[in-house]
Structure 1
Amino acid sequence: MKKLQLGNSGLQASEIALGCMRMNNLSKQEANRVIENALDLGIDMFDHADIYGAGTSEEIFADAINMNPSIREKMVIQTKCGIRQGFFDFSKEHIVSSVEGSLKRLKTDYVDILLLHRPDALMEPEEVAEAFNELKRSGKVRHFGVSNHNPTQIELLKQHVEQDLIINQLQFSMMFTPMVDAGLNVNMEQDPAIVRDGAVLDYSRLNNITIQPWSPFQHGFFEGVFVDNKQFPVLNEKLQEYADKKGVTKSAIAIAWILRHPANMQPIVGTMNPERLQGIAKASEIELTREEWYDLYRTAGNKLP
């Protein structure tokens, strides 16, 4: 598995990360198999959040591997906070208490990265800065970032936060492409030309922020996966064509399509199936040509101007 540097941090991690949102549905033995398989494949980045399984995903993760310092050193662990029942909360009190809860559940003294999960309309960046400073000084969090934030929201945070924001986790897949659509349809009178995210893709590249695509196999907002979906026969025929050509699975092609982008994105894959993860991991071993990338982009229903 290839490695990439996360933002300006100097922190190296696998270019594909394992999302642990669904780990609460597994037994300890099943979770152990998933985690050990990921490590064997060279996937050392694990993505969590305080709300996944109401915290039980973090607990099962730690219990499954009998978390201890020697195993902890093999991993890059990321968690997120800020989503509460019916509202978002970036208060200092909530950020600090959320991290302390995650550390307790993960049975570790620190997380490598903390992300603010979704923008809080009532955010006071001064409070966020106080929370980050306290967590950094205590050694409980080593690096920071955001999730689902636009450039202006990040700039507002940067007015007060001392630490680099090295990550932005954003939805992106072959069938969810607003990050690239607007850039391809400049000065066009059509829907794909609308800039909905403040040009977050270009902003991230200019500021060396690593984008972590979530739901890389989804079409729409949690409407289902497109791989092997009978609603998309033409796309799946094209995916199979490239899968056969490259000697990998269709899911690997979908991830290789993301990895081909020069922004050096780090997709978060959430499968809890070890065999499927083995197939996906092979995306790190192949590279699509420019022509192949655009062919897949068009076949997924995206039009070029």
Structure 2
Amino acid sequence: MRKLQLGKSALEVGQISLGCMRMNALSKKEASDVIDHALDLGIDLFDHADIYGDGESEKVFAEAIQENRTIRNKIYLQSKCGIRKGFFDFSKEHILSSVEGSLRRLQTDYLDVLLLHRPDTLMEPEEVAEAFSKLKESGKVRYFGVSNQNPYQIELLKKYLSDDLIVNQMQLSLMHTPMIDAGLNVNMQHEKAVDRDNGVLEYCRLNDITIQAWSPFQYGMIEGPFIGNDDFPQVNNKLNELAEKKGVTATTIAIAWILRHPAKIQPVVGSMNIQRLKQIEQASQIELTREEWYELYRSTGNTLP
């Protein structure tokens, strides 16, 4: 698998990362098999959050790798904090306690990356900066990032932080493209021209922030997968056409579509199916032409101005 650099960090990771939200549903043996196969495929960044399975996903992950203690030096652990039951919390106290909980459940001394999970409108950036500084100085977190934040929210944080934010995790799939739509429909008077996130795609490119694409197979607000879904015949026909042409699967093409973008976006895939992970990994070797990329974009019902 090809590598990419996460933001301005020293981390060189696989183009595709594994989201571990569903790992709590696996046995220790099943989880171990998934992790081992992911590493064999070149997937070495594992994305967690303190809320995934109420912390159980982190526990299962740690149990799955505990028999091979050298594996920690081969992987990159990323976790997120800030979502609580019924509210968001970027307070210094919560950030610090959340990280301690993740470190305990993951049975590790440090996280490679910590992300703030969804914006907290009551955020006091000075508190976030204090928490980040303490975590960095103690060696408990190497790098920091955000999730689902727009440019001005990031700029507000940056005013107080001493470290660069290296990641912004955003929902993106062939069937969920608002950050792309607005840029293609500048100065137009229709729905797709609405800039819903203040040009976050271009902002992240300008500031060397890696966009991690979550739910790359979902449509709407994680309403379900679009691949093989009879409600979306046009996009599936085009996916299958290109898959047959290139000797891969529709799943591979859907990820290749994201990887083709010059922003060097890193998909975060949540599959716990080993065969599907193999199909996903093949996207790293597939190069879509500009024409094929736009054909797929238009197959979802998008039009160009």
Bucket of the pairwise TM-score, normalised by the shorter protein? over 0.9
Partner of 1:26: 26
Query: Residue type of the partner of 1:292?
Result: E
The answer as to whether partners of 1:46 and 1:77 remain within 8 angstroms in 2 is yes
Q: Does 1:150 align with 2:147?
A: no
Partner of 1:246: 246
| Residue 234 (structure 1) shift | 1.8
Partner of 2:112: 112
Query: Residue type of the partner of 1:272?
Result: M
Deviates more, 1:65-74 or 1:274-283: 65-74
SS at match of 1:263: coil
Q: 1:1-305 alignment to 2 at 5 Å?
A: 1-66=1-66, 69-305=69-305
| Residue 213 (structure 1) shift | 0.5
The count of residues paired between Structure 1 and Structure 2 equals 305
The answer as to whether partners of 1:31 and 1:64 remain within 8 angstroms in 2 is yes
For residues 227-257 of structure 1, the C-alpha deviation after alignment (integer angstroms, 9 at most, x for no partner) is 0111111211110111111111101100000
Query: Residue type of the partner of 2:11?
Result: L
Query: Residue type of the partner of 1:264?
Result: K
For residues 256-299 of structure 1, the C-alpha deviation after alignment (integer angstroms, 9 at most, x for no partner) is 00000000000000001001111111000111000000000000
For residues 156-196 of structure 1, the C-alpha deviation after alignment (integer angstroms, 9 at most, x for no partner) is 00010111000000001101000110111111110111111
Distance 1:278 1:147, change over 3 A: same
Normalised by the length of structure 1, the TM-score is: 0.99
Query: Residue type of the partner of 1:145?
Result: G
Residues in 2 aligned to 1:266 and 1:161: alpha-carbon distance in whole angstroms: 24
Unaligned runs of 5+ in 1: none
Unaligned runs of 5+ in 2: none
Residues in 2 aligned to 1:174 and 1:32: alpha-carbon distance in whole angstroms: 30
Residues in 2 aligned to 1:49 and 1:105: alpha-carbon distance in whole angstroms: 11
| Residue 69 (structure 1) shift | 4.5
| Residue 301 (structure 1) shift | 1.3
For residues 82-117 of structure 1, the C-alpha deviation after alignment (integer angstroms, 9 at most, x for no partner) is 000100000001000100000000000001000000
Deviates more, 1:91-100 or 1:68-77: 68-77
Residues in 2 aligned to 1:69 and 1:90: alpha-carbon distance in whole angstroms: 32
Query: Residue type of the partner of 2:239?
Result: L
| Residue 68 (structure 1) shift | 5.6
SS at match of 2:74: coil
| Residue 65 (structure 1) shift | 1.4
Residues in 2 aligned to 1:222 and 1:154: alpha-carbon distance in whole angstroms: 24
Query: Residue type of the partner of 2:116?
Result: L
Query: Residue type of the partner of 2:100?
Result: E
Which consecutive segments of 4 or more residues in structure 1 shift more than 2 A?
Answer: none
Residues in 2 aligned to 1:276 and 1:4: alpha-carbon distance in whole angstroms: 22
The answer as to whether partners of 1:50 and 1:102 remain within 8 angstroms in 2 is yes
Residues in 1 aligned to 2:195 and 2:180: alpha-carbon distance in whole angstroms: 10
